[in-house]
Amino acid sequence: MSTDSNYDKKRHEESMKSTIIEEIASRLDELGYISDWSQRKVALKSLTMERLHQLTAKVNQSKTAKEAMEGIVKAICDYKQVQQKEDNKRLDNLAGPAKMSPPDEF
């Protein structure tokens, strides 16, 4: 696959994510959510498309803005927790097993 098609694919995915996030924002508006949630919007962009679709369904089923926002916060926290586990695993693999050196003798 060429670099241009990878770039186009990435741009398309980012565009789709933005559209989904705007759908979520519209639903929050319908539910009467009035606080600024721009930081959470940014965090949502890191979620996978599959997770964003699941979140959209949850937000659309929410009866209150609080319930919808709780779902959003949970999705972001879950994603960060998974990322942290993956980072820890990657770092553990880089470091290798701990090596014990014999104590210095006097």
CB 40 within 8 A of CB 31: no
pLDDT of 76 strictly over 90: yes
Report pLDDT for 2: 65
Specify the DSSP element, H or E, that contains 36.
Answer: none
Structure tokens at 24: 């979520």
pLDDT digits (tens, 9 = 90+) for 48-73: 999 999 999 999 999 999 999 999 99
Give residue-wise pLDDT tens across range 20-58.
999 999 999 999 988 888 888 889 999 999 999 999 999
* Euclidean distance between CA atoms 61 and 80, whole angstroms: 24
For residue 94, give the amino acid letter: L
Contact status, residue 21 vs residue 53, Cβ threshold 8 Å: no
| pLDDT for the residue numbered 38 | 84
Q: What is the pLDDT of residue 90?
A: 85
- Answer yes or no: is pLDDT of 96 > 70: no
